[in-house]
Structure 1
């Protein structure tokens, strides 16, 4: 069952951009390792090499002392190495069972043994706490449920080494606890786990040892109990990290209401929600996964049906039937799904940036020079790190993709900005940059709404936090009442 890994001088480059520089370290069997680093540090690329998705340009990977050269993820899986991707890797039109066994179908003679696969899928889903019919189409699941399907799918591979890339990004606290219990059982059975996460409290809690990468290089390793969270953060960014949250901009007493919602209802998701946000204010939305926050705002900006309610913008009633309507009224919404609804990852950076404002650059042909100039400004203003400004969005790290998505949705110069999980999967340095950007937007007099599952983030950023539970807005707390305990109590109904 045990499996030991050794990286020796691993180098990797994509075109002219080198992302790994002679990385060497080893992993002992039956331990949980926290693999830390900023977005772009090379963590995911190194793990994709281990799992057979990428091949190194130089260096060796050894398994149990034997040099290996995986040509595909199937090769790695045969050795018991399984990667749970940060970005969901599911076929929406297939069922849960079909996704879990895709490429690994169980046969009975010439035919697929669908009953056996369904039973195995149901058992694996129960292990991760997802009680769904295995015949359910994946497109009918919310993001958190899809993440649990990915984890359950990995369990079916009976991994000897399991790589988890941001596995709790979409999970509720109870789902996260169940995952941690599952990890402990796997460790006791001898499985090695590599846990990639920017949630340092989780790394501190569940890992035995921390390995830190920076700028494509191995920089440190230490037993987890020997490091504080602040020390972990400092090692990741290579400098002292302090003041994660900027001072909150002072609210102007007579600031006008920028966005007001009365009695908004979304079938199956929200019922009679009313709130307002003023110019210069950061309003947070808290709640458990499934509370209806995302679905409410998707309806408010025209992405799904709003069955009842009234929307006012700067005091005037508005009908928003599409995101284009919302943009014309000065509202933009950045989805929590940056790859599915935020960016076109196979398009160039400049094309992503200007997509929502093409009329500025069409005279009538697209002014490519002006687009390149806009991109140059955005790269600087948003701190987007890229080795090649002409590359596709797919080539950016997760944190830099998120910054590009922010730049894209702010390019129309909106007055009301809705950010859904703006720092999900983003490292500590990029988080700080995004926090300061949010406060800069508020200081300019814009109204900012932040939907987040990270309570510390909401407390540090927001002037007020609205809490939703089971589709209803149950409380709105001012700065003097913002504590994790109060937010959790209202979100769970135990207040």
Structure 2
């Protein structure tokens, strides 16, 4: 290899009470994809913010194209040739593709925007990158995948030589992911150095030329493409071996009481005669391709979406669930797939988020929350679920993804829900934290709670579910016991439904 285009040596960064990075090393070569992995809180984002000029380092050196540099602002990083695409896209939906790409650098004729010239140079850029987008289209009308293409084009309009991508596939469908990967391959061939942050091991296999692992703010090691071994990488990330092939202990639940019986659930939008039973102490998985109807089933069940037909029985009694509050009163808790948007009040502390669904139980006669009782219960669940937080007064947005998810679980446990629906429970969560969430689920099931798990990750479904319901096009295509299930069998059911359509 030639010299790296970007070299980081001995980088350290501290915040009040926290040493985020300590003596971290990183090399990025032109025309390679370096996958950066580590658990939530390992320091990946802090390091990337230093490289993109958002934070300034305390110690260490950054060398770019052979010259030591100080990156003091995002604009300086862009001018240097280092651009970051954040997980939360930074685009203006009411502006066009062209206006977003060249915002602040728009060509003008006198005091006026030269719209034709702007669209022409945008089209030339998009064609050069092989991105099929209309420069005049409003960004708010684009899919998330196409918005990411706009972000990439915007980054490369600065002649980016190093492109940092933070969890770019977290909200994409499988086909959109492949489109993104094709573009990454093209960028690599053009000589762009790419730092790719991801929790997904299958992406690592597909993209990585090298892998660098950091843990607890320190550099652990790097592996070449030939050395990449997923169990080894996971052990480097978490400091202990994890068996990705583990399955739940075989247990038959058909003789256990039925706590939830859904028959003929139908919606005008998608669902067609969805029927299933959930037993006490069982984890029931829902698998299927994007748009199969898994989340729609959960939302119709809890009254978040209108039903067109079907019956729901809880503990042997037919019930009417017309809104989510009805589901909560019946002991059904729903953990949304978007915990940040729908599951948490990010600016509130751990205590408030934990008691949110049970506020009436912790209010005094005049409606004020009883801090003592609420904090006592919160401390109990923080301990039980092993929530990593400096205190129960910590603002929830400052916790890692896995610990945020545990706070949502604590809320529904405090509410004493007998049925818990986990929708994409580990999206955006690292491997070690995933195992913690799985442990919590299994312990809840052993304690008699009944769980529905909706997941797009087949290894996750196989890891936790006793039985697996496979959906396609709003219908149930089949149900498998875990011991007879495999990724191939699940996909056969899912794909068969797509073919029938």
Give the TM-score taking structure 1 as reference length. Answer: 0.88
The aligned counterpart of 2:9 is 8
The answer on whether the counterparts of 2:125 and 2:153 sit within 8 Å (CA) in structure 1 is no
The answer on whether the counterparts of 1:164 and 1:196 sit within 8 Å (CA) in structure 2 is yes
Residue 441 of structure 2: which of 414, 438, 441 is its match?
438
Q: Number of paired residues?
A: 489
Q: 1:440 to 1:15 in 2, by over 3 A?
A: same
Query: 1:228-255 CA distances to partner (integer Å, 9 max, x unpaired)?
Result: 1111011111122237646336234422
Matched residue SS, 1:312? strand
Q: 1:442 to 1:111 in 2, by over 3 A?
A: farther
Are 1:401 and 2:401 counterparts? no
Shift of 1:113: 5.9
Q: 1:265 to 1:96 in 2, by over 3 A?
A: farther
Shift of 1:202: 2.1
Within 5 Å, give how 1:31-42 maps onto structure 2: 31-42=32-43
Q: 1:465 to 1:230 in 2, by over 3 A?
A: same
Greater Cα offset, 462-471 or 336-345 = 462-471
Matched residue SS, 2:275? strand
Query: 1:243-271 CA distances to partner (integer Å, 9 max, x unpaired)?
Result: 76463362344222222222223343323
How far apart in 2 are the matches of 1:303 and 1:95? 32
Shift of 1:201: 2.8
How far apart in 1 are the matches of 2:41 and 2:20? 8
Which 5+ residue runs of structure 1 have no aligned equivalent?
none
Greater Cα offset, 310-319 or 232-241 = 310-319
Query: 1:289-309 CA distances to partner (integer Å, 9 max, x unpaired)?
Result: 222222332232232333333
Residue 419 of structure 1: which of 388, 398, 422 is its match?
422
Within 5 Å, give how 1:172-211 maps onto structure 2: 172-211=173-212
How far apart in 2 are the matches of 1:266 and 1:58? 58
The aligned counterpart of 1:451 is 454
The aligned counterpart of 2:375 is 372
The answer on whether the counterparts of 1:89 and 1:150 sit within 8 Å (CA) in structure 2 is no
How far apart in 1 are the matches of 2:305 and 2:417? 21
Matched residue SS, 1:29? coil
Within 5 Å, give how 1:301-380 maps onto structure 2: 301-363=302-364, 364-380=367-383
The answer on whether the counterparts of 2:12 and 2:58 sit within 8 Å (CA) in structure 1 is yes
How far apart in 1 are the matches of 2:194 and 2:233? 19
How far apart in 2 are the matches of 1:323 and 1:122? 50
Matched residue SS, 1:449? strand
How far apart in 1 are the matches of 2:96 and 2:386? 39
How far apart in 2 are the matches of 1:291 and 1:131? 28
C-alpha RMSD of the superposition: 3.1
Within 5 Å, give how 1:115-134 maps onto structure 2: 120=122
The aligned counterpart of 2:21 is 20
The answer on whether the counterparts of 2:37 and 2:212 sit within 8 Å (CA) in structure 1 is yes
Within 5 Å, give how 1:94-243 maps onto structure 2: 94=94, 97=97, 100-101=100-101, 103=103, 106-109=106-109, 110-112=111-113, 120=122, 135=137, 138=140, 145-158=143-156, 159-242=160-243
Q: 1:451 to 1:98 in 2, by over 3 A?
A: farther
Whose radius of gyration is greater, 1 or 2? Answer: 2
Which 5+ residue runs of structure 2 have no aligned equivalent?
none
Greater Cα offset, 279-288 or 76-85 = 76-85
How far apart in 2 are the matches of 1:309 and 1:398? 36
Within 5 Å, give how 1:81-100 maps onto structure 2: 81-89=82-90, 94=94, 97=97, 100=100
